[in-house]
Amino acid sequence: MTGRQLSILVVDDEPNIRKTIAFCLEREGHRVVSVSNVRDAKGEGSRRFFDLAFVDLRLGTETGLDLIPGLLSLCPWIRIVMITAFASIENAVEAMKRGAWDYLPKPFTPDQVRLFTKKLSEVRALEQQVATLREVLGNVHPEADLISESPAMQKTISLAKQVAESDATILLLGESGTGKSVFARAVHAWGNRSSGAFSTVSCPSLSSELLESELFGHARGAFTGAVRDAAGRVALCEGGTIFLDEIADLPLSLQPKLLRFLQEREYERVGDPRTRHADVRVIAATNRNLEGEVKEGRFREDLFYRLNVIRIEIPPLRERPEDILPLAERLLGFFCKKNHKAILSFSEEALQALRSHTWPGNVRELRNAIERAAILCRGDRIEVGHLPGTSGTPDTPGTRPSSLSLGDPVPLETIEEEHIRRILASSKSLDEAARILGIDQATLWRRRKKYGI
């Protein structure tokens, strides 16, 4: 078989037609479900994802035309091909008006059936590539080349490539800013699901109710503001990968539902009791100690074991110093192009500052430091004064005066960043830190991203 494996529904009241189409498509490697009537077709559509449906125009006393809107409401992404021995221009036009994708007159050959699946495989691949590219363009990662001279990092990359071809759940561990989302995208790209969609869900960014809807979808009227059905990220990533960032912050109320999905690949949309199935790979990431979260009762032990199938630990930047300067050079080239600058290099003092800094914010902190320097530099070299500090005087990256206090002549953002860092350092969890700061976890998550914490 060439192309993407499809889930296909065949609706025809003639047993021989159903068997012929199913045999033809299953030989090509597709998953096929065959039914003989409208009721069974809607039942299958409510339980599982379908890419394509072949629907007979006449189904006993019923008509396949009436089935088109029902299938589209259950599976908005489905493509419907009408098949009939009573082909006419009128029937074809009416089928298209109701939402059919194409029209196939009887008698037809196996090659004609295979042509539709080949065409749809190409369309699905293009749609998912566009969706993935849109997400990438909205969240540019110039550090995503994963080139490393560090033996520890090379070992991590080798492990990621080794497991990419499998469908096993992967747990990425590492400090904030080490590039866990970059690794997740790379694993997706290296694996056999690379033609499928890739989507990121940030667990701390939404309330429990909205996060469940974001993951699994919702039915119209399920809650205030749910004015239409929503498929959810899981359904939209069918055949692809979903990345659950900051999984330690997944609400306890949602953890059993994720556990069930990982075990059975089954779920329900919010406000809809019908059980659905999805073929999606899950990659999760956290900068927290999940074993500790389990002991504290904030994370389910069974969910931890289900996530911890393949464990990949990403070393912090301070443990791979040989990567700092090469990465800084690549980042400088990226931001010079982005900002139309012609900066050629770093001064020796700037290089020494980059080498000597411990980079608590890891690659994200380095990225922010180089972006700032590229914007501020007006010559052809980055000097140490272009690298960020927290006061009005030039400073090495990330150095912060321990005596910083209210009233110091520094920007308000500097005070906010320092205060958040101190609270996070003294708090047992993000939830506790958010309570002390008087903000919700979603706001704290955005501040951490902003400051590279």
Domain-terminating residue out of 274, 299, 315 = 315
DSSP class of residue 316 equals P
Task: Please report, for residues 4, 26, 115, 198, the alpha-carbon distance to residue 118 in angstroms, rounded to integers and kept in the order given.
Answer: 9, 13, 5, 22
Co-location of 249 and 182 in the same domain: yes
Q: What is the mean pLDDT of residues 393-405?
A: 46
Domain-terminating residue out of 361, 379, 399 = 399
Co-location of 56 and 178 in the same domain: no
Domain-terminating residue out of 95, 123, 151 = 123
pLDDT value at residue 2 = 47
Give a yes or no: residue 155 inside a domain.
yes
pLDDT value at residue 400 = 44
Three-state secondary-structure class, residue 281 = strand
CATH assignment of the domain containing 311: 3.40.50.300
Task: Please report, for residues 23, 250, 283, the alpha-carbon distance to residue 78 in angstroms, rounded to integers and kept in the order given.
Answer: 21, 31, 26
pLDDT value at residue 158 = 93
Edge-to-edge strand ranges of the sheet holding 52-56: 31-35, 7-11, 52-56, 79-84, 102-105
CATH assignment of the domain containing 46: 3.40.50.2300
Kind plus residue range of the DSSP H or E element containing 171 = strand 170-173
Reference 198, options 81, 281, 313; nearest CA is 281
Q: What is the mean pLDDT of residues 184-196?
A: 90
pLDDT value at residue 303 = 97
Co-location of 288 and 197 in the same domain: yes
pLDDT value at residue 137 = 52
Co-location of 351 and 274 in the same domain: no
Reference 429, options 441, 438, 418; nearest CA is 441
Co-location of 226 and 361 in the same domain: no
Give a yes or no: residue 185 inside a domain.
yes
Three-state secondary-structure class, residue 137 = helix
Give me 58's structure tokens: 């006449």
pLDDT (tens digit per residue) in 50-90: 889 999 988 878 888 888 888 887 777 789 998 877 666 77
| Position 364, amino acid | R
Give a yes or no: residue 227 inside a domain.
yes
Kind plus residue range of the DSSP H or E element containing 413 = helix 412-426
**Token pair 């059919």 in the structure block, residue:** 100
CA distance 431 to 204: 10
Co-location of 285 and 423 in the same domain: no
Co-location of 104 and 207 in the same domain: no
pLDDT (tens digit per residue) in 370-384: 988 888 888 889 999
Three-state secondary-structure class, residue 233 = helix
Buried b (16+ CB within 10 A) or exposed e, 404-414: beeeeebeeeb
Domain that residue 216 falls in = 139-315
Give the residue, 341 or 151, on which the prediction is more confident: 151
Three-state secondary-structure class, residue 7 = strand
Give a yes or no: residue 1 inside a domain.
no
| Position 394, amino acid | P
Co-location of 198 and 275 in the same domain: yes
Reference 319, options 146, 154, 144; nearest CA is 154
CA distance 72 to 244: 28
CA distance 398 to 409: 18
Co-location of 296 and 152 in the same domain: yes
Q: How confident is the model at residue 1 (pLDDT cuts 50, 70, 90)?
A: very low
Co-location of 243 and 283 in the same domain: yes
Reference 341, options 310, 369, 380, 312; nearest CA is 380
Four-residue CA torsion sign, 8, 11, 13, 17? negative
Give a yes or no: residue 412 inside a domain.
yes
**Weakest mean pLDDT among 81-85, 150-154, 255-259, 266-270:** 81-85
Co-location of 87 and 179 in the same domain: no
| Position 287, amino acid | N
Structural domains counted in the chain: 4
Give a yes or no: residue 133 inside a domain.
no
Give a yes or no: residue 452 inside a domain.
yes
Give a yes or no: residue 275 inside a domain.
yes
End-to-end CA distance of the chain: 47
Co-location of 149 and 285 in the same domain: yes
CA distance 181 to 146: 12
What proportions of the chain, in percent to the nearest 5, are helix, strand and coil? 50, 15, 35
pLDDT (tens digit per residue) in 127-136: 766 766 665 5
Q: How many CB atoms lie within 10 A of CB 66?
A: 11
Chain-centre distance for alpha carbon 330: 25
Is the pLDDT confidence value at 251 over 70?
A: yes
pLDDT (tens digit per residue) in 320-338: 999 999 999 999 988 888 8
CATH assignment of the domain containing 428: 1.10.10
Report cis status (omega within 30 of 0) of the bond before 394.
no
176: exposed, middle or buried (Cβ count in 10 Å: 0-12, 13-18, 19+): buried
Three-state secondary-structure class, residue 408 = coil
Kind plus residue range of the DSSP H or E element containing 189 = helix 180-190
